[in-house]
Chains A and B, each alone.
Chain A
Amino acid sequence: MKFTVSWLKEHLEYDASLEELSDRLTAIGLEVEEITDRAKELAVFRVAHVIEAVQHPDADRLRVCKVDTGEEVVQVVCGAPNARTGMKGVFAPSGSYVPGTDLWLKPTKIRGVESNGMLVSEREMGLSDEHDGIIEMPEDTKVGASFAALAGLDDPVVEIAITPNHQDALGVYGIARDLAASGFGTLKSLDTSSIDGKFKSPIGVNLNFQNADPLPCSKFAGRYVRSVKNGPSPKWLQDKLRAIGLRPISALVDITNLVTFDLGRPLHVFDADKVKGDIQARLATAGETVLALDGEEYKLDGDACVIADDANALGIGGIMGGELSGCSEETTNVFIEAALFDPISIATTGRKLGIESDARYRFERGVDPAFVEPAMEIATRLVMELCGGEPSEVVIAGNGPDWQKSVELRKARVKELGGIEIPVEEMVMILDKLGFAPEESGEVIKTTVPSWRMDVDGEADLVEEVLRMHGYDNIEPVALPTENAVAKPAVNAQQRRVRIAKRALADRGMMEAVTWSFLPRVHADLFGGVPDEIVLVNPISADLDAMRPSLLPNLIAAAGRNHARGFADISLFEVGSEYHSDQPDGQIMVAGGIRGGQTSSRHWAGSGRKFDAYDAKADALALLEAVGGPAGSVQVVTGAPEWYHPGRSGVMQLGPKNRLASFGEIHPRVLEAMKVKGPIVGFEIYLDNIPLPKSIETARPPLVVSDYQFVERDFAFEVDADVSADAIIRAARGSDKKLITEVSIFDVYQGDRITAGRKSVALSVRLQPTDKTLTEEEIDAVAAKVIGSIEKATGGSLRQ
């Protein structure tokens, strides 16, 4: 919402600086976004006298002028055809900024002749497109006078942001009323006295709705004014509209715009001679079209409210008038409309049609329902003033909505909610100035909500009114009382885990990414797919339409983007949600990561190796360990989801029903479909499935260290190639659970020196006695048990 300071002063008598005005506006919730002070911008442009203008010696089109600026006489070379001896023009000295050309002036030579400063055209000043010549000022203008002041440009334009509840401030008068209530100046009264109609309006008005509640149009006032003379509106009106960025059209149309911005009251004017019969407000018939004032033809549905004559829909009610019944320079009889439309109906139709108009903006926020007749009188008076003519009586259909409400404010609530003591007299005064007609009654103040404050419907709203006028900045900050004497963690165990997971993975050299929660559905399909219920109806773009069923696809896509930038070695992770249904339990917390390329870049001490599935396994195990999960006892088995390489992937589980993680090489088919170069390995850890660590007391049993030395024995077995390392380790461990504390595999061989389809696995077994040193015989006995157990479990044999 824009207005000028002089416009505001038409409604508000005050004596304060622009800065004070700006601060107060913001303090009462009318946030100042910008103040444009043209007088400041144009301060350098002053009236000057051209003492002499002679032909440039070397250029036909240029003149050399001696210019009296009021301070000195300077020489200026000027190309304007109207530059001549004796004229008064507008001069900008050297060192000035010329907004129309975006240039800084400096002393120069033009075709060998010195030139200082510039005599300017309107275009050069950024005022209009006029560039046929330099600006000519009247003969009697004082040399040195400010051009901005003479041209009426010394009126600062204030732009404020209006919150959706402040429909009352969508007119300058409402802004003045708010300022006055805060003690900033005195509000002037409006002249809304009625004008007698000289005849009966030849055009009648009707509301024609069947069974609509609320009525899309609940009140319609009209007035016929005959024998008007339309034409350009006077300069004061044009200046006003231009200052707030509106284009003057004709006196009749400009009047409706003036009332819209002055009083927040949209109006419409019809060329009465183009109206056939009476005017009615009704719902459109489905498919009905209206050619609107913006030149577009709109096709309406049955929910839109139109203003129609007996033949056609003339305009879209409360949103935009029609081209065919609009006023033009030739209009001699005008019909003024002041109607009241339902905010929801306007919002719905406006959104469907995509029309943004000043009328829609106001009606959908709620226009003062008690200001239909006063607005009509003000508009009629303006029409008669600017265009002459003779008004009819006012015709009215409908009564408008029932808007009266009473709200009580308990005096104590201002302090209880606001934390500040405000004297009751001040509360009453503020509410009175805002139009709430306050009446003290014991512990409460009874109010009647004014018609222009549809948003107020409860006690808290009145508290806000009092506080905002008193000033939020007067409320003292107070520390929140300490609730708990004993500090307790702010995060629960699951939240703590998410934090640890991020830092643990970053500590393993991975970069944390944050990627969209959505992705292309084709990508979702590569990762198990998503049900239709979590595919967005209105995605931001067609390729971000499905909620992600896995963290991996967006990370893989990110790898692709980094590849394209020339970075092949990638370690990325994200800790976030994946989605499987539209219910809260369908959202699960996952730590996912990918690695691709080399483990390290080429360097003088050798190069890295390619990341493989074991790196992903190591990441998964490390993370389990970091979050206090059962890294040591988790079972690793095959059977990872389909987006992993079937032979190079696995899952970590605690029994077949509780899967903690999947890991492995990403399936080449998936990478191919996503057009990302592989191999890439990845892991997904389902954080919610990991059992929470035990309590502090039982998490760590006391440490027992043996006083006796451990013994290590190495074995090598030949087994079938598909025997898992895990089976061998388990068999070895199981052969003597008390003595054997560690089993590690230190070599795996498959190749020429062994039967095809077989492999050799070498392992080291550590025996840790707790009560005595082991004898050779005892060690041999355990070794025999190990061999027996592994041979039995794997069908393999000890290599001799």
Chain B
Amino acid sequence: MAPFLLRVVMQDIEKLEQELLTQIDEMSDLDALESLRISALGKKGSVSLMMRGLGQMDPAERQTVAPKLNKLKNTVGEAIENAKAALHAAALDAKLAEERIDITLPVRPETTGRIHPISQVMDEITEIFAGMGFDVAEGPDIENDFNNFTALNIPPEHPARQMHDTFYLPEKEDGSRQLLRTHTSTVQIRTMMSKKPPHRIVVPGRTFRSDSDQTHTPMFHQIEGLVIDKTSHMGHLKGVLAEFCKSFFELDEVTMRFRPSYFPFTEPSAEMDIRCTFAGDHVKVGEGDDWLEILGCGMVNPRVLAHCGLDPAEYQGFAWGMGIDRIAMLKYGIPDLRAFFDSDLRWLKHYGFVPLDVPTLGGGLSR
């Protein structure tokens, strides 16, 4: 090849490089860039055609032209790749900009359920007593007179029967009539009559009394405790209840007061008060100048033991009972008892507990 031709070839290469780089620079979409790549670097592309021309050159010329062509190919290839990446990035930016959403819009509505405070507090209380080795026992709501009264040392004309405004079911041919249990103490009787001591049970459940006003509902909930063995005494009773109060109200210390009281089924009998402060409608438990009555308790009356076929000379123990609804109101500052049973969605949502708040001794009782 004549030297001047060689010069022309070299100039063509440079010119092509300039042209291609300019074109690449001007590319604004990926498809056009791809077409350009094919027209330059494809099998029949301008750069490829020039590369093919190398075969007809003599070795000396090839040594001059080949590096130049390789550089052209690399430069153009690189420029295309860079342009491609830039276009990709720009396209993504544009897409993302378009995909922007208003993250302040409210989420799609999800229905949220709640656990009723009575269930929650029942779980809390049974959890505490479970930790002290108590089993949960239950019994029927419809009871007979013996289990609800007679066995508990409440004979037919006892004044204590007036304290229980009892709901009765129709009299049967034999003169007996069933009733709605007025307390969970019926399960004390059922337990003692069906199993051998020792007993350590707590009994949560529905109870019924014919009473309805601001602070009474005809149905309410109680939890009862019973310990029967050969040695448990009032000191243990106080120990168990002190432990309960501390755990339930989450207090390091709680000042308790035991007042002598009267229940036909316990002797000696007591009522337990704890220290509190009344501030308006709210009660702060654990400290203060006032006393708040929490529960009734006592040593199981020997007559009750005898009614259940236990020898009072051999066995003894204690029992207590308290209102779940009331203690729930107290702990969680719920003002109106009657609202517990109204199923008002607003109330349930406000005072209810999220389902995964399962009270445990290890994980904490209350939220």
Contact = CB atoms under 8 A, between A and B. Distances in A.
Contact of A511 (B113, B135, B177): B113
A81 interface: no
Given A419-B236, A472-B260, A514-B116, A464 B268 contact: yes
Contacts of B202: 490
Contacts of B240: 480
B115 A502 contact: yes
Given A480-B239, A508-B113, A600-B110, A537 B170 contact: yes
* Residue of B180, B270, B355 with most partner-chain A CB within 10 A: B355
Contacts of B170: 532-533, 535, 537
B23 interface: no
A24 to B, nearest CB: 11
B341 interface: yes
Contact of A460 (B126, B267, B341): B267
A641 B76 CA distance: 81
B343 A515 contact: yes
A567 interface: yes
Contacts of A534: 142, 169
Interface stretch (A384-392, A602-610, A762-770): A602-610
B227 A480 contact: yes
B169 A572 contact: no
A464 B343 contact: no
Contact of B113 (A417, A510, A516): A510
Interface in B101-137: 105-106, 108-116, 118-119, 123, 126, 129-130, 132-136
Interface stretch (A45-53, A312-320, A582-590): A582-590
B94 interface: no
Nearest to A30: B260
Contacts of B7: none
Contacts of A570: 345
Given A416-B233, A419-B233, A490-B130, A495 B243 contact: no
Contact of A587 (B140, B171, B261, B355): B140
A354 to B, nearest CB: 13
Nearest to B118: A514
B275 to A, nearest CB: 13
Interface string B322-357: 000000000000000000111111101100101110
B316 A417 contact: yes
Interface in B178-229: 178, 180, 198, 200, 202, 206, 208, 210-212, 218-219, 227
B310 interface: no
Nearest to A504: B355
A773 interface: no
Contacts of B109: 600-601, 603, 608
A573 B258 CA distance: 40
A60 interface: no
Nearest to A161: B261
Contact of A419 (B235, B243, B343): B235
Contact of B261 (A163, A420, A544): A163
A164 B262 contact: yes
B191 to A, nearest CB: 13
Contact of B198 (A461, A476, A483): A483
A540 interface: yes
Nearest to B202: A490
Contact of B112 (A509, A565, A572, A584): A509
B235 A512 contact: no
Contacts of A503: 115, 355-356, 358
B269 interface: yes
A468 B344 CA distance: 46
A540 B210 contact: yes
Given A495-B136, A506-B113, A567 B345 contact: yes
B106 A603 contact: yes
A490 B142 contact: no
A29 B259 contact: yes
* Residue of A468, A480, A536 with most partner-chain B CB within 10 A: A480
Contacts of A489: 130
Contact of A480 (B126, B211, B236, B262): B236
A165 B316 CA distance: 22
A344 interface: yes
B159 interface: yes
Interface string A549-587: 000000100100110010100111000110100111011
Nearest to A25: B259
Nearest to A163: B262
Nearest to A534: B169
A532 B132 CA distance: 43
A365 interface: yes
B259 A417 contact: no
* Residue of B257, B260, B299, B316 with most partner-chain A CB within 10 A: B260
B123 A499 contact: yes
Given A418-B268, A458-B303, A490-B126, A587 B142 contact: yes
Given A464-B269, A533-B178, 17 more contacts: A26-B257, A26-B259, A163-B261, A417-B234, A473-B257, A475-B235, A479-B239, A483-B133, A484-B133, A491-B136, A504-B355, A512-B115, A514-B119, A515-B341, A536-B168, A603-B106, A608-B109
Interface of A: 26-29, 31, 163-166, 343-344, 347-348, 351, 364-365, 415-420, 458-461, 463-464, 467-468, 472-473, 475-480, 482-484, 489-492, 495, 499, 502-518, 532-541, 544, 547, 555, 558, 561-562, 565, 567, 570-572, 576-577, 579, 582-584, 586-587, 599-601, 603-605, 608
14 contacts: A26-B259, A419-B238, A464-B269, A478-B238, A490-B130, A511-B343, A512-B116, A513-B343, A516-B341, A561-B343, A562-B345, A565-B345, A579-B141, A587-B140
Which 7 pairs show the lowest CB-CB distances between chains A and B?
A: A419-B235, A29-B260, A509-B111, A490-B130, A464-B268, A163-B262, A558-B343
